[in-house]
């Protein structure tokens, strides 16, 4: 389903380089509304609103890369994972940064190009107004929406990790750890542990919350003007000897 282009102002210097622009919803936009694991697992709803993925996310525990809905025991996640994120190779979205690009759910798209487009296509790069490449940084949070138990999540969301200023393609250990990693130790039922990634338009001061329980990813993103997530992933975890359902 094509997007409706309602505003498209291109600087005169860029008009000769941009002959046409065709924008479509990516496949992930369609799947996140139906069979996407984030929807099936109620991550969209309990933690996040619907969003369009525009970055890739890899989470690796002890050499094992996660997929959405992976089943892990506490011993497997005792140490912080390797987390990597980067923009998709297709630069439909990455020729524009967040403060120049807005996508309204089920609405239309508004574009206002105030930076130069060096090239449109697979190798497109975003330059600032004097021609320098713009750095891309990410912010990652890890939360448990099922604390202390899925049937009575009075501490939703419990904050397990918060890292900012992660350079694109780098491990999260190269970022600024605001809240140290706390390993999952569920005591009742199967808990979902959710990684959420936001793109930072600038390096900014992020303060650690006063406490881990009752963190709210939506409110946090709004407070720091982070916009919508660009990627998310979750895994399930229960007690080491647990074998029951969610409860």
Report pTM: 0.70
Question: What is the residue-averaged pLDDT of the chain?
Answer: 75
Digit-coded pLDDT (tens) for 31-58: 455 689 999 999 999 999 999 999 999 9
Dihedral sign computed on CA atoms, order 172, 173, 178, 182: positive
pLDDT bin (cut points 50, 70, 90) of residue 1 is very low
How do beta strands 101-103 and 64-65 pair? unpaired
Digit-coded pLDDT (tens) for 70-91: 999 999 999 999 998 887 543 3
Task: Give the C-alpha distances (Å, rounded to integers) separating 90 from 58, 76, 123, 148, 230.
Answer: 18, 34, 8, 41, 14
Structure tokens at 215: 């963190």
- Cβ-contact 77, 189 below 8 angstroms: no
**End-to-end Cα, the chain, rounded Å:** 39
| SS3 of the chain: helix, strand, coil, percent, to 5 | 15, 30, 55
Counting Cα atoms < 13 Å in the Cβ hemisphere of 237 gives 25
Give dist(CA 198, CA 216) in Å, integer: 14
Digit-coded pLDDT (tens) for 121-177: 334 445 555 666 667 789 999 999 999 999 999 999 999 999 999 887 656 667 899
* Segments in 16-111 forming alpha helices (H): 27-31, 37-40, 43-46
Query: What phi and psi, each to the nearest 5 degrees, are found at residue 122?
Result: -60, -30
Percent of all residues in the chain with a pLDDT value above 70, rounded to a whole number: 63
| Residue that the structure tokens 């007690």 belong to | 239
Q: What is the pLDDT of residue 202?
A: 84
Dihedral sign computed on CA atoms, order 72, 137, 110, 7: negative
Q: What is the pLDDT of residue 104?
A: 31
| Domains assigned to the chain | 5-237 (3.90.280.10)
pLDDT bin (cut points 50, 70, 90) of residue 201 is confident
């Amino acid at each position: 389903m094509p997007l409706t282009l309602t505003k498209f102002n291109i600087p005169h210097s860029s008009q000769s380089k941009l002959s046409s622009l065709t924008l479509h919803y990516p496949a992930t936009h369609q799947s996140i509304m139906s069979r996407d694991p984030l929807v099936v697992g109620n991550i969209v709803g309990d933690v996040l609103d619907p969003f369009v993925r525009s970055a890739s996310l890899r989470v690796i525990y002890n050499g094992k890369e996660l997929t959405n809905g992976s089943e892990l025991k506490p011993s497997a996640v005792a140490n912080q994972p390797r987390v990597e994120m980067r923009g998709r190779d297709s630069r439909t979205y990455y020729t524009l940064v967040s403060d120049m690009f807005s996508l309204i759910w089920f609405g239309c798209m508004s574009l206002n190009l105030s930076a130069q487009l060096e090239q449109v296509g697979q190798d497109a790069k975003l330059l600032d107004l004097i021609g320098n490449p713009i750095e891309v940084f990410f912010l990652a949070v890890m939360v448990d929406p099922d604390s202390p138990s899925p049937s009575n999540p009075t501490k939703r969301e419990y904050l397990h990790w918060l890292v900012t200023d992660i350079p694109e393609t780098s491990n999260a250990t190269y970022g600024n750890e605001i809240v140290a990693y706390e390993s999952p130790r569920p005591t009742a039922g199967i808990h979902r542990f959710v990684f959420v990634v936001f793109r930072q338009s600038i390096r900014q001061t992020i303060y650690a919350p006063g406490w881990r329980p009752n963190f709210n990813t939506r409110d946090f993103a709004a407070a720091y003007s982070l916009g919508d997530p660009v990627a998310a992933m979750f895994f399930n975890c229960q007690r080491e000897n647990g074998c029951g359902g969610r409860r």
